[in-house]
């Protein structure tokens, strides 16, 4: 750990206020109905104090945790994707002006966000989307403009959810990169504080302005222990050895038929996934025919129209759609972007209405891969 500081909960409030004074829109975890979601927060009282979550395949449930804990949950329902890559966005409008047309392009990335409470796996998801949206000539200027202005306050995980497998994907549970400030929340023997560490000069400057004292060796050890303990409590895993090749070699495995019998092709898994990025465009005209607008909307490889092209639909069966999703995520994504498309957050497992668990699907394929079947 680089220089570490001890910050009491009122220091967290000062951090928020400081970021707001610097014109950041502060976004963080907050209660929304029966779930924790990321949304605008004005003060630390908006955080889900005293709540934690239970997650399992097809299950997400809030339960009371330690009354004082601000970040005692594992992961909110939605990811940061919806701020950097909004689900619905106007791209441009065209207006008739006599015999000519006037083009009005939507402004790119005007918001300046401070993200509070980013988990380690989510830092990896953001860095994956950085690659996706900045690929040669295929750039998303709106994403890039928002992305370069964000201030990131990461919070190391203190609770392992039953769906988490970040240790398999080497993305967590401790933040290692792409943050301005990383916090670890400590609740120990009646004491409640955060260990703060800067990851950038901007983060360092802000910590200095808040003015916390240097952490003692014992406090730093307590923070390291939180991350170590969390890692030790992660029970789900995915064997990633040769995974891209394994899936590419097993495109006709019977497991795809098996999962297709359970999959509703609802697309929830793609909506909650912090790295999925597919979109469609929609055009609309007003009734007078004077104005036309183009919008971009999140889409999913599970929808019926996604693979519809002139001449037909090349992914008509649920089997082909689930296989497309999983093989893209864990196999061809690596060819495309040089990394896996999965960070092990487990959201697709919790929010799948029938509890399909990609780690179990991979295990089933690995256990009876085509190559092994040929050998027996």
Q: How far is the CB of 303 from ligand SF4 (least distance, A)?
A: 10
Q: How far is the CB of 121 from ligand SF4 (least distance, A)?
A: 7
Q: How far is the CB of 349 from ligand SF4 (least distance, A)?
A: 7
Bridge partners, residue 89, by sequence: 296
Structure tokens at 214: 């240097």
User: Distance from CA of residue 376 to its chain's centroid?
Assistant: 41
Per CB under 6 A, the segment of 9-17, 108-116, 285-293, 346-354 that binds ligand SF4 is 346-354
User: Distance from CA of residue 110 to its chain's centroid?
Assistant: 21
Q: Which residues contact 297 (CB under 8 A, 6 or more apart)?
A: 87, 88, 279, 280, 281, 282
Phi, psi of 231 (to 5 degrees): -60, -40
264 lines the binding site for ligand SF4 (CB under 6 A):
yes
- Candidates 265, 303, 324, 327; binder of ligand SF4 (CB under 6 A) is 265
Q: How far is CA 341 from CA 21, 72, 207, 254, in A?
A: 36, 26, 33, 23
Specify the residue, 118 or 273, whose C-beta has the smaller distance to ligand SF4.
273
Which is it for strands 312-313 and 308-309: parallel, antiparallel or unpaired? antiparallel
DSSP codes of every residue in 165-233: -HHHHT--SS--SS-SEEEEEEEETTEEEEEEEESSHHHHHHHHHH-PEEPPHHHHHHHHHHHHHHHHT
Q: How far is the CB of 186 from ligand SF4 (least distance, A)?
A: 27
124 lines the binding site for ligand SF4 (CB under 6 A):
no
Q: How far apart are CA 61 and CA 76, in angstroms?
A: 11
Count of residues binding ligand SF4 (CB under 6 A)? 25
126 lines the binding site for ligand SF4 (CB under 6 A):
no
Specify the residue, 184 or 359, whose C-beta has the smaller distance to ligand SF4.
359
352 lines the binding site for ligand SF4 (CB under 6 A):
yes
150 lines the binding site for ligand SF4 (CB under 6 A):
no
Per CB under 6 A, the segment of 34-42, 133-141, 288-296, 339-347 that binds ligand SF4 is 339-347
324 lines the binding site for ligand SF4 (CB under 6 A):
no
Specify the residue, 134 or 240, whose C-beta has the smaller distance to ligand SF4.
240
List binders of ligand SF4 among 280-309 (CB under 6 A). 302
- Candidates 6, 319, 329, 366; binder of ligand SF4 (CB under 6 A) is 329
342 lines the binding site for ligand SF4 (CB under 6 A):
yes
Q: How far is the CB of 124 from ligand SF4 (least distance, A)?
A: 9
> What's the CA angle centered on 40, arms 34 and 43, to 5 degrees?
95
Please give the sequence-ordered ranges of beta strands (E in DSSP) within 199-347, or none if there are none. Answer: 213-214, 279-285, 291-298, 308-309, 312-313
Per CB under 6 A, the segment of 185-193, 194-202, 338-346, 368-376 that binds ligand SF4 is 338-346
| Interface residue list for ligand SF4 (CB under 6 A) | 263-269, 272-275, 302, 329, 342-348, 352-354, 356, 358
């Amino acid at each position: 750990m680089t220089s570490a500081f001890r910050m009491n909960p009122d220091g967290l409030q000062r951090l928020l206020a400081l970021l707001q004074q610097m014109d950041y829109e502060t976004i963080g975890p907050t209660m929304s109905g029966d779930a924790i979601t990321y949304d605008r927060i004005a003060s630390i009282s908006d955080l889900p104090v005293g709540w934690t979550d239970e997650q399992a395949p097809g299950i997400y449930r809030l339960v009371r945790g330690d009354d004082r804990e601000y970040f005692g949950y594992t992961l909110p329902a939605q990811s940061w994707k919806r701020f950097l890559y909004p689900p619905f966005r106007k791209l441009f409008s065209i207006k008739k002006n006599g015999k000519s047309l006037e083009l009005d392009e939507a402004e790119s990335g005007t918001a300046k966000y401070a993200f509070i409470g980013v988990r380690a796996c989510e830092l990896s998801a953001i860095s994956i989307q950085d690659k996706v949206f900045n690929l040669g000539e295929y750039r998303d200027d709106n994403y890039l403009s928002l992305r370069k202005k964000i201030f990131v306050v990461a919070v190391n995980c203190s609770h392992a959810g039953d769906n988490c497998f970040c240790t398999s994907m080497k993305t967590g549970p401790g933040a290692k990169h792409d943050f301005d400030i990383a916090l670890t929340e400590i609740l120990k023997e009646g004491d409640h504080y955060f260990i703060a560490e800067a990851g950038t000069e901007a983060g360092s400057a802000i910590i200095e302005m808040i003015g916390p004292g240097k952490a003692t060796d014992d406090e730093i050890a307590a923070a390291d222990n939180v991350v170590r303990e969390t890692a030790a409590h992660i029970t789900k895993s995915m064997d990633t050895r040769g995974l891209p090749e394994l899936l590419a070699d097993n495109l006709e495995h019977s497991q795809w038929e098996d999962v297709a019998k359970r999959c509703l092709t609802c697309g929830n898994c793609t909506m909650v996934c912090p790295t999925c990025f597919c979109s469609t465009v929609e055009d609309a005209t007003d009734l007078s025919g004077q104005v036309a607008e183009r919008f971009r909307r999140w889409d999913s490889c599970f929808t019926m129209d996604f693979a519809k092209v002139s001449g037909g639909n090349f992914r008509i069966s649920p089997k082909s759609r689930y296989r497309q999703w999983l093989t893209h995520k864990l196999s061809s994504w690596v060819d495309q972007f040089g990394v896996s498309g999965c960070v092990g957050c487990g959201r697709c497992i919790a929010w799948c209405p029938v509890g399909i668990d990609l780690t179990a699907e991979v295990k089933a394929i690995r256990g009876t891969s085509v190559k092994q079947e040929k050998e027996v």
